[in-house]
Every structure is written in structure tokens, then in C-alpha cells.
Structure 1
């Protein structure tokens, strides 16, 4: 009887902890499944959905082993739904087999212009990049890139340098023409029509304001909503850069529903993190190349770039013959 009396408080404590963990997990799952990006803390929680899915599976296993059937079943069902949403990113998607012009796009956030210019230009050469999309491009970074020989490999450019995080730019192997975005964004985002041989490709260097700033996620939501959708009557369009959003955020999912595919997701690299490249925060996927869904994606890689907290991303896709 004494032993039984001693076990009861322990069982209650274990049950209480499992209830707390299940409630927290259910709240995190609800944010993702209901598409709620209400506050900066909610947005940050949604960014961790792949981790939440794994934690939910573990929580369900523990609860079921301890015979907390209601808690375990609830956690299991929700975690399976999250896993079903996340797991496909680790597998290649069916995509059309197209013939046409190969185009290679590299995107890099320079972290207030501090990225290693020589390493970036080396990556451009190694991967035979046609278009380079830059975020947080400062005047100092432009000078460093010129010293490193960027103009020798990508002689055409539209640069909008600015101090801090506001600058952006595009550099290309082929001639380009500046384009204006249809909506105003927090940071200027360089956009241009690149005259790739045999095809024109419109590229936007995307950089949305981080949703975790003290002012909240409204400007970030507005920036994502203002990005142009795919235009069936126009040239192929590509959005490349630091979206400050993962594939679990409703704003990015809506953008994908407007005629784009995520290049990483197409070739089973959708769970490869891009930020932070160092530090304590669990790494997440914030940098993307969204490609017109008429274009088969052939390759996607994430590259380490010294001097910045983001990893660069490079993709190769095919612009189909007319």
C-alpha cells in the first residue's frame, strides 16, 4: 500500500508533463495546419514545423508506451498529418521532361555586405551561373565583388546597393533589362528581364522583411503578397532570394499556388537548411528559388559561404523551347 501511494504522485506528475507537452504540440500543429501567421512568435513556431513533426512522433511513442492512450493517440494523429506535409520535401517530385535552354541561378544573402566576395565569385565560376541574385548588397560589397572579378564572369547588372540589409542586386552572363515590381516592398528588390539565348527569363532578387521584428509580421506578409505571380502570357519568371519564410508559412504556400515550384522541393532538397549557417537557432529553410512551373528543375544545391549567416542556393532548370 505504501509503495502504491508513492507511485501515485509520480504517475500524476508524468501525466501532467505529458498533458503540457501534448497541448504545446497541438498548438504548434494548429498554427501550421490552420495557416495562422498571427504574431512573430507564431511565425517562428511555424518555421520549426519539421522539428515539431519529429517531436510529435516521439511524444506519441512515449505517451503510448506509458499507456496514456488519449494523449498518445492525439499526438500520433497530429504528428502523422505534419509528417505527411513535411516528408515529401525529402523525395523528388514528378516533373515534366523538357528540352530547351539550361539556366543556372545562384542566390546569396551577403549579411550586410560581409560575405566573402572571392568565395562567391568562385562559386559563380564553379557552377557556371547565368544569373546571380544578391540580398543585403552594400556599396562596400559591390566594390569587393568587382575586385574579386565578378564583372569578368557576369558583366551585366542591376544593382541597388544600400547600407545594412536594404540593398539588392542582379548580375547576369547575358544582357538584362530592368523591370519594376508591381507592388512596393519594404526593401528594394532588383528585378530584370535576362536575355538568355533562345529565351527571356524574368528574375527577381527577393528579400522580405523578417517577420520576427518587434513590429510584427504585417510588413513581411505584405512583402510576400506583393511578389508577382507567374504570368502565362509573359516570359518565364523566377523569384530567388531570402524570403524569410519556409514552405510551412501560408504566405509562401499561397505564392507557390500562383504558378511556381520550389526548386529544392522538386529535387528532394527541401529540408536542407539555409539559415543560420552558424549559431544556436535550429536551422531552417529561408532561402528559396521559386521557378515558373513550366520549367523542369534539374539540380539544386546549398553552398556554404564564408562571412554570412545564410547559405547560398544554386539551381539549374530548363526553359522549354517555344
Structure 2
């Protein structure tokens, strides 16, 4: 009788202790995505580590669903409800990118824009030219354009398809350029922060301003300020010429600074067509991290977005991005 009583008491004592440990573990799992969602919602873009991490928000959003389901399955109701709130916050931030906006009205002047990071000029020139021939862009925005890469493109016949060019081919990762079917004019010098040159050009025929976007990569602490400066220096949407920003932003729509830029009157072509979660970096085999969306085509809200696509280019860690747009006015 005594033995049975002692055994039953020990068993009863062990069960609450085990339940407490499970509850504690569940809260430990819920807390990081909750903190992540709070920081992302607050628009905190401070510290280069967070700038890097926030790009992976869609993956944390997916993990938060699993955590909430686990909490509910184990009947940890408070943690489960907290987990569902976190899931809701992430859903509101991430899911709209997977759904296309209402179709743009027909008409307008078609405009095709292609952008590619050439990875220190080492991207496969033939692959780039194949995209130019197949997609027939009116504008090609290139980042990390080196003098050698520019020479290879010239030899491959880039000027036959896109005869006009403005840019600053530069050794290393700092150069950029814009090629176009229509004449270009440089109204101001390239935006230059931390030696990264973001080419700017005007297409007078179309009343269009375009930037080849490439701010500093926030790989190190001292690059964070340069990254922010490069993005904040980009032309805002609004009155004046139509504006397009295309290239390697080194940022996703989960960075507050990108949402601020969109709020001036831009639309992200991938987001508008329901492809906003399409990863563009790194291409398979380049970096041991999941893919994120660093390359974009931003078009101001007066410009219709018809389609978007991301295309593999050997020799670079970024996928090229392509958008079919339409400017207001009569089709050419």
C-alpha cells in the first residue's frame, strides 16, 4: 500500500513538471518569430546583421505556421493564440506578393525592361545576348559592368539591338550601364556611394527616367550606411517624367527602406504580377543560403505592369529580371 502511494505520487509530480517543460519549450519557439514580426512591422532597418536577416522573412513566416500548429496540437492555447497572431502578421506582409493585382487596362506604349548583375563582369556574355535576342528589351540595365564585359558585349553585337548607352564600366563590382533602343541623355552624374555607381539616364522620346540600381551590398557593418544612402538617393516616383528603377537592390520588400521607396508611388513588377516571392539570389551553387528576392523592376504607378520573369544567367550569382510594361499613350 505504501509503495503504491509513493509511486503514484512520484508519477503525479512528474507529469506537471513535464507539462511545464513542454510549455516552456513552446514559448521558446514562439518568441523568436514574434520578435522578428515585431521588428519587421516596426520598420527597424538598423544593424547590418538584421539588414541581412530580414531578407529571409518569408522563410521565418513559413516556420511560424509550424510553430503555431505545434502549440495548438499540444493544447498550449495561450502560446497557440500568440502563434496565430504572429502568423497573421506575417501573412499580411508576405502573402500579397504571391497574388497578382487586377489586370492592367489594355493599350499604352509597350516597354520591355531587362536587368542583370554581371558578377564583376564574369556573367556569360552569350547568355546575356540570348536574353536580349529572345526577350527583345527596349532597355537593358546592367550592374557590375566592367570594361572587359562591355567590350565583350560590344563584340557580341549589343549595339545592333540596343544602340544607345550611358554608363560607367568600372573594374570590380562598382560599374553599371544602361543600353536602350531609343536615344539616351544623362541629365546628372551617376549616383555614387561607397564607389558603387548607379547609372541614371533619360529617354527623351518617352519622357522616361531610368536608373540601373546597385547600392552597396550590406556584407559588413561599415557598408550598412552606404547601402541605405544608395537606396535613399534613388529618384522618388511622382510628378515629372515616368520613372523606372531596375537592377540589384541588395534588398527585399521586407526592408523598410524599400517599402518607403514604394510608398512614393512605385510598384514592384514581380509583386504586381503575383511573383513577388520568386528568388533572384543566389543562383544554385553560389551561396549556401536559401534564395531571396534582391533584384527588382520598380515602375511608377502611372506605368502598367503586364508581366515579370526571372532568368538564369551562367557566371553570375543573380538571376536576370525582365518586366513587360506599358507607358500611357498610343502604342508604337
Q: In the aligned structure 2, how far is the partner of 1:41 from the partner of 1:11?
A: 36
Q: In the aligned structure 1, how far is the partner of 2:113 from the partner of 2:63?
A: 35
Aligned length: 319
Please identify, of 238-247 and 138-147, the stretch whose mean Cα deviation from structure 2 is larger: 138-147
* Residue 272 of structure 1 pairs with residue 278 of structure 2: yes
Q: In the aligned structure 2, how far is the partner of 1:184 from the partner of 1:138?
A: 16
TM-score normalised by structure 2 residue count? 0.91
Q: Give the one of 260, 264, 268 matched to 1:258.
A: 264
Residue 287 of structure 1 is matched in structure 2 by: 295
Q: How far off is 1:148 after superposition?
A: 2.0
Q: Which has the higher helix share?
A: 2
Q: In the aligned structure 1, how far is the partner of 2:209 from the partner of 2:103?
A: 21
Q: In the aligned structure 1, how far is the partner of 2:29 from the partner of 2:149?
A: 46
Residue 210 of structure 2 is matched in structure 1 by: 203
Q: In the aligned structure 1, how far is the partner of 2:263 from the partner of 2:57?
A: 20
Q: Give the one of 181, 188, 197 matched to 1:188.
A: 197
Q: Is the 8 A contact 2:104 2:306 kept in 1?
A: no
Residue 254 of structure 2 is matched in structure 1 by: 248
Q: Any residues of structure 2 matched to 1:1-322 within 5 Å, and which?
A: 1=8, 2-8=10-16, 10-94=18-102, 96-180=104-188, 184-186=192-194, 187-196=196-205, 199-232=206-239, 234-278=240-284, 279-321=287-329
Please identify, of 48-57 and 210-219, the stretch whose mean Cα deviation from structure 2 is larger: 210-219
TM-score normalised by structure 1 residue count? 0.94
Q: 1:107-147 CA deviation, whole Å, 9 max, x = no partner?
A: 00011111001100110110011100000111111122122
Q: 1:199-220 CA deviation, whole Å, 9 max, x = no partner?
A: 2321100001122323152221
Unaligned runs of 5+ in 1: none
Name the larger-Rg structure: 2
Give the 3-state SS of the residue equivalent to 2:201 in structure 1.
strand
Alpha carbons of structure 1 residues 181 and 146: separation in structure 2 relative to 1, 3 Å: closer
Please identify, of 171-180 and 89-98, the stretch whose mean Cα deviation from structure 2 is larger: 89-98
Unaligned runs of 5+ in 2: 1-7
CA RMSD of aligned residues (A): 1.8
